[in-house]
Amino acid sequence: MSHDQNFKNLIIDYPRESIAFFAAVESHAVDAGARILPIRQEQLKERLGARFRELDTPLLVEWPDGRRAALLFVFEEETDPQRFSIHRLAHYCLDLAEMFATERVVPVVIFLHAGRFPSSLRLGSESAAYLEFRYLATALFRIPARAHLHSSNLVARLNLPNMAYAPEDKLEVYAQAVRGLVELESDPEQRSKYLDFIDIYADLDDHERTLYTQRYPQEAADMSGFAQRFIEQGIEQGIEQGIAQGIAQGVKQGIAQGVKLGVQHGEARVLTSLLRLRFGELPEAARQRLDTADADTLLRWSTRVLTAQTLAEVLDDAS
């Protein structure tokens, strides 16, 4: 699992919310008139070389009206604090400052798991410090989840499972993360993408999934609802693609291919995700059946996801 990539996607998809949550003390400067631009990694690799990991996610904040100089936020996710190198981060920030000719750089490190990590770096002698470096540290494992259960910041809600909570609160934390996704994100594709994010970090077992469906039927219904809209959108996109292909290959064949592509892109993908949410990782035989099922079968199975107690009940052709 690439935690680095998960958080990189999160920061690039929701830059303003990420700054507000992970760098709250600096977020006041990023007003509505600011423009936030992710810096392409290809640029960084040409200058900085392979010694820097791909997790580094710089965001350049600019004010088009020229009210102030650009501000560079440098985000880094660190799964294991013991592997964190403050020297490497300082070096990286200095290189970026030189590259973009700015001294306005805000380093931010997101720590996912518990552990000790240095908070500052001082280079000098007994008489004087010649280089001092600090960064903003967001230790998710220390943040009380209850303080953010009803946050209007989507990045905070998505990270509820990464925060601190009592074992008995796990399902509520999961439910509030899903509820935040439904309330604060309207794009079906983004909802599907970040439902996976929540599921990865909540890591519910089969028993917890069953209890969740029983205790939070509204959240489960919301999940099913936006999944269905994603299915329909996928089918429509597939039909449009098939019609375009049909101009060259024959309209009838093209539309048929479009419908097939849409179903595969939408229903099979979302159904697989929902089944994994309910029942954990799917056996190879089940994945093969999902890959080869026709549209009617996939729709029939989709209607059973929330009520079935086992994977076999969903895929039972005799039902």
Residue 149 lies in a domain: no
Please indicate, yes or no, if residue 304 is contained in any of the structural domains: yes
Same domain (yes/no): 225, 136 = no
Structural domain includes residue 166: no
Cα(209)–Cα(226) distance, integer angstroms: 19
pLDDT at 68: 81
Q: What is the DSSP letter of 120?
A: E
Regarding whether 302 and 208 lie in a shared domain, the answer is yes
CA-angle at 142, arms to 15 and 114, nearest 5°: 100
Residues 131 and 244 in one domain: no
Cα of 75 vs its chain's centroid, Å: 15
**Domain termination site, one of 125, 142, 159:** 142
Amino acid at site 235 = I
- Domain edge (last residue) among 116, 142, 168: 142
Residues in the chain: 319
> Rounded to two decimals, what is the model's pTM?
0.69
Q: How many domains is the chain partitioned into structurally?
A: 2
User: Does any domain span residue 188?
Assistant: no
16 & 124 share domain: yes
Is the same domain home to 20 and 100?
A: yes
Residue 184 included in any domain? no
User: Is position 170 within any domain?
Assistant: no
Query: What is the chain's pLDDT, residue by residue, as a tens digit (319 residues)?
Result: 578 888 999 999 999 999 999 999 999 889 888 999 888 654 444 444 444 444 468 899 998 887 788 899 999 999 889 989 999 999 999 988 988 888 999 999 999 999 999 999 999 999 999 999 999 999 999 999 999 999 999 999 999 999 999 999 999 999 999 999 999 999 988 998 899 899 999 999 989 988 998 898 887 676 666 555 555 555 555 555 555 565 555 545 554 555 455 555 566 777 787 787 777 778 888 888 888 888 778 878 877 876 777 888 888 875 5
Q: Answer for the pair 173, 28: CB distance below 8 angstroms, yes or no.
A: no
Within a domain: 167: no
310: β partners: none
Listed residue (179, 255, 187, 186) closest to 223, CA to CA: 179
Does 227 lie in the same domain as 135? Answer: no
Assess whether 9 and 131 both reside in one domain: yes
pLDDT at 54: 44
Residue span of the structural domain in which 268 resides = 204-314
Give the span between the Cα atoms of 43 and 59, in whole angstroms: 13
Question: What value, to the nearest 5°, has the Cα angle with vertex 311 and ends 306 and 312?
Answer: 120
Q: Assess if residue 151 is contained within a domain.
A: no
pLDDT at residue 11, as a whole number: 94
For residue 24, which of 16, 14, 32, 34 has the smallest C-alpha distance? 16
Cα atoms in the 13 Å half-sphere on the side-chain side of 19: 24
110 and 237 belong to one structural domain:
no
Non-local CB neighbours of 212 within 8 Å, separated by 6+ positions: 171, 174, 175, 204, 219, 220
Domain boundary among the residues 127, 142, 157 is at 142
